[in-house]
Chains A and B, each alone.
Chain A
Amino acid sequence: MNTHNLMLIDPHIHMTSRTTDDYERMRQAGIVAIIEPAFWLGQPRTEAGSFKDYFSSLVGWERFRASQFGIKHYCTIGLNSKEANNEPLAEQVMELLPLFVCKEGVVGVGEIGYDDQTPTEDKYFRAQLELAKEVNMPVQVHTPHRDKKAGTIKSMEVCLEHGIAPDMVVIDHNNEETVKDVLDRGFWAAFTIYPNSKMGNERMVEIVKKYGSERIIVNSSADWGVSDPLSVPKTASLMLERGISIEDVRKTCYQNALDSFGKSGQMHESDWLQSTSVDQREKFSDNSVLRGGQTPVVGEINTTGEPGSNIVR
């Protein structure tokens, strides 16, 4: 992968469901920071306690795990749209959110928005926008898969209705049909490179060619499904190959993510520029990412060459 040693950010990836191999390969490919939006489980959580522990892991263990591979981990905290439909539970989660949204390393309220576009989803989307406004945090909006265009426009209108400035909102999972509306209204437009659905690398290249790099952000949304945690570096590489300028690649795969979520005051370039080394001897709650007999990496992260072989001899 040739990205001219660019530093990259993946501002939407669910590392909780990924492995340390992924972290290793991501760092190797130039990813220095990631944002993990609070997401659903694939199946609904049935107790508020599950949310509490999940949020705690996003600001605790997962952040530590990333640090052990030289990657800065940030997150957004929110009640996702799918799970917002269980009203009694949603009420309890809403009470939990103030305990988490201002913690260190939390860079926004997210991912929130619409799935089925039900009245209940609408209620909790709005309640969370109010919370974001109260604490002056960026919002990360998940746009629906079905009836996408209308849902995207509605998401933006509701944000404006609540008095939230467009430059405080990242609209996610865009496509050719929605991008113009989002950019025209002054919101950040994020694109998820997701095999077979959402957006492909090649289409992404065409979008940047057509719309430029202003307010456009690339992410992977990699999660527990068939997805690729290297989507951002691969797309960056393809953009360069197809003649997009290095400056535009840097903006769409790094700077715009930093500028948008940096508005939280919780994410600074110095966070990763100043600490480029790792120490895998460290522990979090007495847990290490290493298993018996493995040698800890201490010092600078090696980003040249291919990741080590996993063959055990």
Chain B
Amino acid sequence: MYQADIQATTTYLKELLERSTTSQGLEWLTQKMELVSSEKAKPKDFYLSFSAAPRFIGKENLHLTQQELQMADMIRSGFNPSHWSAAQAARTLLLLSLPHQDGESFFSQIETLFNTADMRELVALYAALPLLPHPELFRKRAAEGFRTNMGDVFEAVALDNPYPADYMEMDAWNNMVLKTLFVGKPLFRIYGIEKRRNAKLARILSDYAHERWAAGRTVSPELWRPVAPFIDEAILNDIKKLFTQPNELEQQAAALACAESNNPSAKELLNSHPQLKELVEEGEIAWNKIGEKNLELQ
């Protein structure tokens, strides 16, 4: 029922907020959290404070130290609030204050919020998914988040968020990865991208690359990251093509994909590019680096 210890999460987020809001803001929030968690709370108490949060807390970005980021990961593996705002943290604290013993009523109150949320509220709600109790109830909702066309909202659910890797079914997960590429967002910010690689996804991504090539368009070098362990005879031709691309990052991706494959032909192919092979072995070429550099080029 729990993904993260609620008490520990609450303490952590409140400490972060102390730097990004005023003491009046914190006081307001503490009061509202108490109200929301109490027996006498009405649904409207929760709804009003959830949407009013930015008025009292402000919208500043949280500035996390490296150590605080590590703490987040200890509280919930993959939890990464580095792109969060103060209001977002406050909204998450309110969500965590809701009584949750009755999973269905907890879920239905949050669903009501989702159904009437504005853009920033949606961002807060989706990014909070990995911290909420009863995570299994939110699978359909997360899939809805993948379908959005609002960029910030899609990012909140797909990037720096461990919920999809931990809870989504394969097809929904595959869809999310494909869409991330489709809307030009970085793959390296998807949590668990390695862990959730699968043969079907590899096939879908290869097809997508063919589509792009046929239309005379470029293909993100990150596309090959989930494909690597599933190189077969068909995909091998894609990798060969990659080695001939003018974009250096694509050549690097080709080398890395071969290195991660058990396919003998892929090994052979890598041997014929000794310079790249050496860079891979030295750790100079890595998926995160490729992703970051590719992002810089955009």
Contact of A101 among B48, B54, B119, B120 (CB under 8 A): B48
Contacts of B149 in A (CB 8 A): 283, 285-287
Are B54 and A56 in touch, CB under 8 angstroms? Answer: no
Contact of B113 among A99, A134, A135, A283 (CB under 8 A): A99
In the complex, whether A284 has a CB less than 8 A from a CB of chain B is: yes
In the assembled complex, the Cα of A135 lies from the Cα of B47 at a distance in Å of 12
Docked complex: A266-309 residues within 8 A CB-CB of B? 266, 283-287
CB within 8 Å: A-B pair count: 48
Are A102 and B116 in touch, CB under 8 angstroms? Answer: no
In the complex, whether B104 has a CB less than 8 A from a CB of chain A is: no
If A99-B47, A285-B148, A286-B149 touch, whether A135 touches B116 (CB-CB below 8 Å) is: no
Docked complex: A46-60 residues within 8 A CB-CB of B? 52, 55-56, 59-60
In the assembled complex, the Cα of A60 lies from the Cα of B116 at a distance in Å of 10
If A52-B115, A52-B116 touch, whether A100 touches B148 (CB-CB below 8 Å) is: no
In the complex, whether A104 has a CB less than 8 A from a CB of chain B is: yes
Are A96 and B118 in touch, CB under 8 angstroms? Answer: no
In the complex, whether B44 has a CB less than 8 A from a CB of chain A is: yes
Nearest B residue to A287, CB-CB = B149
In the assembled complex, the Cα of A59 lies from the Cα of B113 at a distance in Å of 14
In the assembled complex, the Cα of A13 lies from the Cα of B118 at a distance in Å of 21
Contacts of B115 in A (CB 8 A): 52
In the complex, whether B112 has a CB less than 8 A from a CB of chain A is: yes
Contacts of A286 in B (CB 8 A): 149
Docked complex: A123-173 residues within 8 A CB-CB of B? 134-135
Nearest A residue to B149, CB-CB = A286
Nearest A residue to B50, CB-CB = A102
Contact of A266 among B55, B118, B148 (CB under 8 A): B55
In the complex, whether A44 has a CB less than 8 A from a CB of chain B is: no
In the complex, whether B160 has a CB less than 8 A from a CB of chain A is: no
Contacts of B116 in A (CB 8 A): 52, 55-56, 96, 99-100
Are A102 and B48 in touch, CB under 8 angstroms? Answer: yes
- Interface size grouping (class) on chain B: 20 to 34
Are A60 and B119 in touch, CB under 8 angstroms? Answer: yes
> What's the nearest-Cβ distance from chain B to residue A66, in Å?
15
Q: Mark A91-107, 1 if CB is under 8 A from B, else 0.
A: 00001101111111000
Q: Which of A101, A103, A266, A286 has the most CB of B within 10 A?
A: A103
In the complex, whether B52 has a CB less than 8 A from a CB of chain A is: yes
Contacts of A101 in B (CB 8 A): 48, 51
Nearest B residue to A282, CB-CB = B151
In the assembled complex, the Cα of A99 lies from the Cα of B44 at a distance in Å of 7
Docked complex: A6-25 residues within 8 A CB-CB of B? none
Contacts of A59 in B (CB 8 A): 118
In the assembled complex, the Cα of A284 lies from the Cα of B149 at a distance in Å of 8
Docked complex: B110-149 residues within 8 A CB-CB of A? 112-113, 115-116, 118-121, 148-149
Q: Mark A166-194, 1 if CB is under 8 A from B, else 0.
A: 00000000000000000000000000000
In the complex, whether B150 has a CB less than 8 A from a CB of chain A is: yes
Q: Mark B45-76, 1 if CB is under 8 A from A, else 0.
A: 00111011011000000000000000000000
Are A285 and B48 in touch, CB under 8 angstroms? Answer: no
> What's the nearest-Cβ distance from chain B to residue A191, in Å?
30
> What's the nearest-Cβ distance from chain B to residue A296, in Å?
17
Docked complex: A84-122 residues within 8 A CB-CB of B? 95-96, 98-104
In the complex, whether A265 has a CB less than 8 A from a CB of chain B is: yes
Contact of A103 among B44, B49, B118 (CB under 8 A): B118
> What's the nearest-Cβ distance from chain B to residue A119, in Å?
24
Are A135 and B48 in touch, CB under 8 angstroms? Answer: yes
In the assembled complex, the Cα of A103 lies from the Cα of B115 at a distance in Å of 14
Pull 16 A–B residue pairs with CB atoms less than 8 Å apart, ordered by A. Answer: A59-B118, A98-B43, A98-B47, A98-B48, A99-B112, A102-B48, A102-B55, A103-B51, A103-B118, A103-B121, A104-B51, A135-B52, A265-B55, A266-B55, A285-B150, A287-B149
Nearest first, the 5 closest Cβ-Cβ pairs linking A and B are A286-B149, A102-B52, A98-B44, A102-B51, A99-B116
